Structures are given as structure tokens and as C-alpha cells.
Amino acid sequence: MSRDRLAPRDWTRAALLALAEGGVGAVKVDVLARELGVTRGSFYWHFSDRDALLKAALEQWEQESTERVIKDLDQVENPAERLERLVRGAFSDETVPGLQPALMAHARHPVVMPVLRRVTAQRIGYITAIYRELGLDSTAARRRAVIAYAAYLGWLDLRRGPEDAVPEVMPDGEAPAVIDDIVTMLLN
């Protein structure tokens, strides 16, 4: 395939990486085209404008990082095991490092807001449902889900800080032991 004939997914992946590095303002067609080694024409073959690219990229992130994860986890019958797998996966692996904190920083952007609203609602709703299966009433399950999600967002924010500030969250440090503690706390 010619470099001038990139697939839309090549553009959306580049847009997600740019978002993670520099926020919404970093998603610039000229810069992405240069990084991908193509002309602007390749971009306009797939997208009408920058917002269309941003929307497609965020929808790809939503599908891969939320819908697909939930679908995979739904195969696990035991709710405690499902929650443990969810927590371990979420706290261990960032598909695009730094993307979630960057999106939170741009939560009011008109293209980001609806996707972030859907993703947050779906994730918290899913965690709430697991806690309901574990025997908590609706109010307690929702509160516990919010706490779990807040811990996740805080974890990701700490990873964006200086590595020596909180080495316990860094993948090459003590993160696995800390994640074990998080799992224990969230399951009790």
C-alpha cells in the first residue's frame, strides 16, 4: 500500500497519540501528515475536517478501551474475578499512555465531551453492576464504582508526573504490588 493511501485507522491512531502528548490542540492535520509521511490529501480522502478526525479517533478509543473490554470481561462468570481482571487490566495497561488524563483535561471540548460522557457512564455503570452482583445495594454499588473509577483516574494522573515522585505507580517499579493492594481494597 502506498504511504499516500493510509487507512482511516492510521490517522485516528496518530490523532490519539497526539492527543495523549499535547491535548486537543496537538491534533493538527499538517503535523500528523508529516509524521505519517503523507500529504494532506491523504487526510481529506478519509475525513472532512479535523473535528471529524478527532471524533473518529475518540470513537475508536471508546470502542477499544471500553466496549471491547466490557465484552471480553462479560465472558467471566464470577463477578469477583471479573472485577479483579478489570482492575488489573486497567491499572496495568494503557493502550495509549497519557490519553485518559489528556481527555479529562479537555473534557469541555465539544467533540471530547459527548464521548467522554458516554465512556465514563458506561464504565461506572459496568463497575456498579459488578458490585450489585457482589451483593451491594444500588447506592453502595454506585459509590464503590465511583471510588474505583476515581482511583483509576488518579493512578493515571500520577503516572504522568515525575517518575521519582511516586515510583510505586510506574510499570517498572512497585506497581504490581500496589495493584494487588488496590484489588484487595476494592474487593472488600
The pLDDT of 92-113, averaged and rounded, is: 95
- CATH code where residue 63 lies: 1.10.357.10
- State the Cα–Cα distance between residues 56 and 12, nearest whole angstrom: 7
What pLDDT, in 10s, does the model give residues 10-35?
Answer: 999 999 999 999 999 999 999 999 99
| pLDDT, position 1 | 39
Q: Would you say residue 3 has pLDDT above 80?
A: no
The pLDDT of 162-185, averaged and rounded, is: 92
- Measure Cα distances from 82 to 48, 68, 75, 131, 183 in Å: 40, 14, 9, 10, 11
| pLDDT, position 4 | 52
Lowest mean pLDDT, pick from 80-89, 103-112, 166-175: 166-175
Banded model confidence at residue 176, pLDDT cuts 50, 70, 90: very high
Average per-residue pLDDT for the chain: 94
| CB-side neighbour CA atoms (13 Å) of 53 | 32
Domain count, the chain: 1
| pLDDT, position 172 | 82
| pLDDT, position 2 | 46
Show the domain range for 29.
3-187
Q: Would you say residue 124 has pLDDT above 50?
A: yes
The pLDDT of 127-151, averaged and rounded, is: 98
- State the Cα–Cα distance between residues 130 and 80, nearest whole angstrom: 8
